[in-house]
Structure 1
Amino acid sequence: MRLRAVDGADPAEVGAGLPAALDGVAPLALGFVPGPGDEVAEGTAVVIATSGSTGVPKRVVLSAAALTASAEATARRIGSGQWMLALSAGYVAGLQVLVRAHLAGTEPVLLGGRFTAASFAAATREMSAGPRYASLVPAQLATLLDAADDPEVRAALSSYQALLLGGQALPPALRERAADLGARVVRTYGSSETAGGCVYDGVPLDGVRVASFDGELRLAGPTLAQGYLGDPELTARTFVADEAGDRWYRTGDAGELRDGRVAVTGRVDNVIVSGGVNVSLDRVERAVRTVAGLEGAVVVAVPDERWGQGSAIVAALPGGSASADGLLAEARERVAAEVGAEARPSRIVPVEALPMLSSGKPDRRAIAVLASAD
């Protein structure tokens, strides 16, 4: 089947093509223009171009069955109603908002223009009185919480049956602030390869299975993508079958199951060797983000003359360099206690604003360049 290119940033265009895509008769290409050889199997709904935070380009092939299974499982878990689209429809989280609304027979409300607390409150006022839902990234939630002194923003936040938060780790302090204001936040875990979030607050959606193989999380179930367009080798490495013939997605995330809940501890490959000791930068970053003032900080690897590799904290600091030394001392103490003395970051790099991807995630490649140049 041939793909039809649409502008993934235009939700009206994606929404108009969605019924035929979900029927499997007119698959959509989101984020790229398909070439003459880009054909997909029957039943394909969309192909999404994605690079995530690593910058490695991929084109993920999702069937109508996978998208529908994900949307229906979400409705069973959190309920059904009207959705706000506050993300690009060219990303799986935004696309799924349109899919859920379509299957529920409701009209989604589109947040136009740049995301601000005022635009979120204005779009919320356009929604019906029934159950409301939205998908956000943590940076958007932080924007709303910072403006919560405004009674309209505060009322909008607490009016949603559920606010799905995915795309990156949700700092505990951010979730606590949201809960204090009556916002019902649901942490989601998943990716384009799983048709969006497939684990909610640590619990897999119906039909989704999670296992840890040598410390790496793998996912199975009806929401898995078919693979990567034009890249059979990457498909074979990423989607693997076990001895029983069941198909699993290798997430690349380190984690485990604790009392039936999924706990993600970081990326399998986000490890440095500092003085001969393996150090997980994800664990360091989680510890750093528990320090007041560093909730949104990013920890990256930097060269170290003595240890070979070390880590640096890159953060947008209101006080600039003046506040950096005290925060670094506190962060080093916290990391030493939670991860180990050898994992302590060597410095803080203050920036006016963290480089971000259009998805709302930190641009870790750009941030690493900033840290290395400091």
Structure 2
Amino acid sequence: MTRLIATSADDAAQLQQDLARALDGGPALGLGMLALGMSDDEAETVDEGTAVVIGTSGSSGIPKRVVLSAEALRAGAEATASRIGSGNWLLALPAGYVAGLQVLARSILSGTTPVVLETGFSARSFAEATLPMLRGRGEQLFTSLVPAQVATLLDAAIEDTTVHAALQAYSAILVGGQALPEPVRERAAELGVHLVRTYGSTETSGGCVYDGVPLETVAVKTVDGELRIAGPMLADGYLGDPVLTDTTFVRDEHGIRWYRTGDLGIIEDGVVRVHGRADNVIVSGGVNISLDRVERIVRGIPGLTSAVVVGVEDERWGEASVIVAERGEVLRRSEPEQLEHAREVVAEELGKPARPARMIIVDEIATLSSGKPDREAIRRLAAELR
């Protein structure tokens, strides 16, 4: 057994040192544990080989403590390097979440120190942090972002050549946390920005499928429409919750251990296509509607690329979907016209029962500290604003 010490992700440099020790057999780190009931001076014990336990409630609000071994984190970092190469990283995400933590892990394995975005994320701070990385160095540059950050940078790059140059400096910008809207991907390609769509979770030590193709040591299959992942980067399970561990991580008839993602999808010609969460479904008028699929279509509409689609109770249909969009996005139509256009596009793709019932415009979409939409808070807002 080894000690688990609650730690803060606020000091990235210190966290990288602590993580390096944890990867080398030192005390395991408990990230996000304070929010899940572990005090500053409390030390639990975990299995030998554990490097990090990440406390996360995700967008669903259900708390979990994901146990990641040193082997798993190393496997994830090494598989990424094998796919995109090694170099210098910019840390622009919270280090207490797995995407940010993997930036530190990849830097440790490559013997580099990441540049940290100290002043909060903005197009200007991103450019100012990036450009000095180009001076006098021949290494490739990498970073990890969420789609909302990418959209902010692309908007700024249209007018600001410095931001444009910073974006183009990266050999690869990993984008995960949520689906990347197609219009954002297209704009990036037009500007010569190399985005890599990643798919994965804390339970897989971060993204392990890049642009739909599993990394070298990763296997993906579907069982009853659910995507399952196997590989050396899988978490050991959930601290203190053996039932959830046994339900989520299962072995097949060959003894291979698989992570049940809870996502629906298909695999075509070796390419993984994610359709959405199996549990993010409403029943509207007796028809099952995947909110993730509706949201993906809505985000393909100009002016709605950052919109979130949630389900609410509906007196007529039982449940209905609602589009929540930011006021700052440029709408080419009036709000009623935009809603009607979205309804038409969704109906064409998924059928009339899937059409969103309402649209709510807000000043700012609620997000978690990871940058992902806070879907529970958004759903509550949509339910209140009837």
Normalising by structure 2, we get a TM-score of 0.94
1:236 aligns with 2:246: yes
CA positional deviation for 1:370: 1.2
RMSD: 1.5
Contact 1:97 1:134 in 2 (8 A): yes
* Alpha-carbon distance between aligned partners in 1 of 2:119 and 2:318, rounded to the nearest angstrom: 45
* Alpha-carbon distance between aligned partners in 2 of 1:250 and 1:37, rounded to the nearest angstrom: 30
Equivalent in the alignment of 1:7: 8
1:288 aligns with 2:298: yes
The structure 1 residue matched to 2:191, chosen from 170, 181, 191, is: 181
Equivalent in the alignment of 2:285: 275
1:106 aligns with 2:115: no
Equivalent in the alignment of 2:313: 303
Letter in 1 for 2:73: L
The structure 2 residue matched to 1:132, chosen from 141, 147, 153, is: 141
* Alpha-carbon distance between aligned partners in 1 of 2:314 and 2:192, rounded to the nearest angstrom: 45
* Alpha-carbon distance between aligned partners in 1 of 2:91 and 2:314, rounded to the nearest angstrom: 44
Contact 1:136 1:166 in 2 (8 A): yes
- What runs of 5+ residues in structure 2 fail to find an aligned partner? none
1:334 aligns with 2:340: no
CA positional deviation for 1:347: 1.0
Q: Give the 3-state SS of the residue equivalent to 1:39 in structure 2.
A: strand
CA positional deviation for 1:206: 1.1
Letter in 2 for 1:19: A
Contact 2:198 2:207 in 1 (8 A): yes
Aligned residues: 374
Q: Give the 3-state SS of the residue equivalent to 1:114 in structure 2.
A: coil
Bigger shift: residues 117-126 or 2-11: 2-11
Contact 1:254 1:264 in 2 (8 A): yes
1:356 aligns with 2:362: no
CA positional deviation for 1:125: 1.8
Q: Give the 3-state SS of the residue equivalent to 2:282 in structure 1.
A: strand
Letter in 2 for 1:181: L
Instruction: Provide Cα deviations, 1:126-158, integer angstroms capped at 9, x if missing partner.
Output: 214321000011111111111111110000000
The structure 2 residue matched to 1:118, chosen from 101, 118, 124, is: 124
Equivalent in the alignment of 1:325: 336
* Alpha-carbon distance between aligned partners in 2 of 1:191 and 1:224, rounded to the nearest angstrom: 10
* Alpha-carbon distance between aligned partners in 2 of 1:108 and 1:274, rounded to the nearest angstrom: 48
* Alpha-carbon distance between aligned partners in 1 of 2:98 and 2:241, rounded to the nearest angstrom: 20
Letter in 2 for 1:360: G
Equivalent in the alignment of 1:71: 77
Q: Give the 3-state SS of the residue equivalent to 2:102 in structure 1.
A: helix
Bigger shift: residues 29-38 or 148-157: 29-38
Contact 2:226 2:263 in 1 (8 A): yes
Instruction: Provide Cα deviations, 1:134-193, integer angstroms capped at 9, x if missing partner.
Output: 001111111111111111000000000000000011001001111111111000000110
Contact 2:92 2:145 in 1 (8 A): yes
* Alpha-carbon distance between aligned partners in 1 of 2:43 and 2:194, rounded to the nearest angstrom: 45
Letter in 2 for 1:15: Q
Letter in 2 for 1:356: T
Equivalent in the alignment of 1:202: 212
Q: Give the 3-state SS of the residue equivalent to 1:326 in structure 2.
A: helix
Q: Where do residues 16-31 of structure 1 align in structure 2 (5 Å cutoff)?
A: 16-31=17-32
CA positional deviation for 1:37: 7.2
Q: Give the 3-state SS of the residue equivalent to 2:19 in structure 1.
A: helix
1:157 aligns with 2:163: no
Contact 2:175 2:198 in 1 (8 A): yes
The structure 2 residue matched to 1:41, chosen from 43, 47, 53, is: 47
Bigger shift: residues 34-43 or 332-341: 34-43
1:247 aligns with 2:253: no
Letter in 2 for 1:278: N
| Percentage of pairs with the same residue | 61
* Alpha-carbon distance between aligned partners in 1 of 2:10 and 2:178, rounded to the nearest angstrom: 20
Contact 2:4 2:43 in 1 (8 A): no
Normalising by structure 1, we get a TM-score of 0.97
